[in-house]
Structure 1
Amino acid sequence: MARFLLKRILQSVLTVFGVITAAFFLVRLAGDPAVLLLPIEASAEDIERIRAALGLDQPLIVQYIRFLGDAVRGDFGDSLRQGTSAMALVLERVPATLELALTSFFVGIGLAFVLGILMRMTRVRWLRELITWIALGRQAIPLFSFGLLLILIFSIWLKWLPTFGRGTWQHLVLPALTLGTYELALYLRLFNASLASEQRLDYVRTAYAKGQGHLKVLLRHMLPNALLPLVTVAGINLGLLLGGTVVTETVFSWPGVGRLIVQSVSQRDFPVILAGTFLISVMFVIINLLVDILYGFLDPRVRMT
Structure 2
Amino acid sequence: MVVFLSRRLAAAFFSIFVATIIVFGMSRLTGDPREQFLTVETTPEIWDAWGKKFGLDKPLVVQYFIWLGKAATLDFGTSLNQARPVRDLITERIRPSAELALTGWFLSIAIGIPLGVLSAVKRGRPIDYLARWFALLGQALPPFWLGMVMILIFAVALDWLPAGARAGPRTLIMPAMTLALINASSNLRITRSAMLEVLDSEYVKLARAKGVSESNVIWKHAFRNAVIAPLTNAGLLLAGFLAGTVVTELVFAWPGMGRLVIDAVRTNDFPVVSALTLVFTVIYVAANFLIDLLYGFVDPRIRLS
- Report the TM-score when normalising by structure 2: 0.90
Shift of 1:124: 6.9
1:136 aligns with 2:143: no
Is the alpha carbon distance of 1:41 and 1:152 closer, same or farther for their aligned partners in structure 2, counting shifts above 3 Å? farther
Shift of 1:9: 1.0
| Residues 30-68 of structure 1: CA deviation (Å, up to 9, x unaligned) | 344334346x44334344442343222333222222212
Superposition pairs for residues 209-228 of structure 1, below 5 Å? 209-228=209-228
Paired residue secondary structure (2:182): coil
Superposition pairs for residues 236-247 of structure 1, below 5 Å? 236-247=236-247
How many Å separate the matches in 2 of 1:268 and 1:158? 41
How many Å separate the matches in 1 of 2:292 and 2:78? 35
Q: What does residue 6 of structure 1 align with?
A: 6
1:58 aligns with 2:58: yes
Q: Is the 8 A contact 1:135 1:185 kept in 2?
A: yes
Q: What does residue 159 of structure 2 align with?
A: 159
Paired residue secondary structure (2:287): helix
| Residues 221-268 of structure 1: CA deviation (Å, up to 9, x unaligned) | 322222122112211222122224122212211111121111122222
| Residues 180-230 of structure 1: CA deviation (Å, up to 9, x unaligned) | 222333222221222222222333233323434433421333222221221
Aligned residue identity for 1:184: A
Q: What does residue 41 of structure 2 align with?
A: 42
Paired residue secondary structure (1:183): helix
Aligned residue identity for 1:23: V
How many Å separate the matches in 2 of 1:218 and 1:300? 20
Q: Is the 8 A contact 1:31 1:268 kept in 2?
A: no
Q: What does residue 86 of structure 2 align with?
A: 86
How many Å separate the matches in 2 of 1:232 and 1:278? 22
How many Å separate the matches in 2 of 1:42 and 1:153? 52
How many Å separate the matches in 1 of 2:201 and 2:123? 21
| Residues 125-151 of structure 1: CA deviation (Å, up to 9, x unaligned) | 233212211221221122222222222
How many Å separate the matches in 1 of 2:12 and 2:123? 45
| Residues 62-103 of structure 1: CA deviation (Å, up to 9, x unaligned) | 222221222222221122233332112212211111111111
Gaps in structure 2 of 5+ consecutive residues: none
Q: What does residue 272 of structure 1 align with?
A: 272
- Report the TM-score when normalising by structure 1: 0.90
How many Å separate the matches in 2 of 1:160 and 1:20? 45
How many Å separate the matches in 2 of 1:271 and 1:146? 33
Q: Aligned-pair RMSD on alpha carbons?
A: 2.2
Q: Is the 8 A contact 1:163 1:171 kept in 2?
A: yes
Aligned residue identity for 2:141: I
Q: Is the 8 A contact 2:120 2:193 kept in 1?
A: no
Aligned residue identity for 1:108: S
Q: What does residue 103 of structure 1 align with?
A: 103
Is the alpha carbon distance of 1:204 and 1:73 closer, same or farther for their aligned partners in structure 2, counting shifts above 3 Å? same
Superposition pairs for residues 179-258 of structure 1, below 5 Å? 179-258=179-258
How many residues are matched?
304
Q: Is the 8 A contact 1:35 1:47 kept in 2?
A: no
Identity across aligned pairs (percent)? Answer: 39
Q: Is the 8 A contact 1:242 1:284 kept in 2?
A: no
How many Å separate the matches in 1 of 2:123 and 2:204? 19
How many Å separate the matches in 1 of 2:244 and 2:136? 20
1:170 aligns with 2:170: yes
Q: What does residue 70 of structure 1 align with?
A: 70
Shift of 1:168: 2.0
Q: Is the 8 A contact 2:166 2:255 kept in 1?
A: yes
Shift of 1:163: 1.5
How many Å separate the matches in 2 of 1:275 and 1:123? 47
Aligned residue identity for 1:43: T
Aligned residue identity for 2:195: L
Paired residue secondary structure (1:182): helix
How many Å separate the matches in 2 of 1:230 and 1:292? 13
Paired residue secondary structure (1:181): helix
Is the alpha carbon distance of 1:57 and 1:293 closer, same or farther for their aligned partners in structure 2, counting shifts above 3 Å? same
Worse overlay, 46-55 or 143-152: 46-55
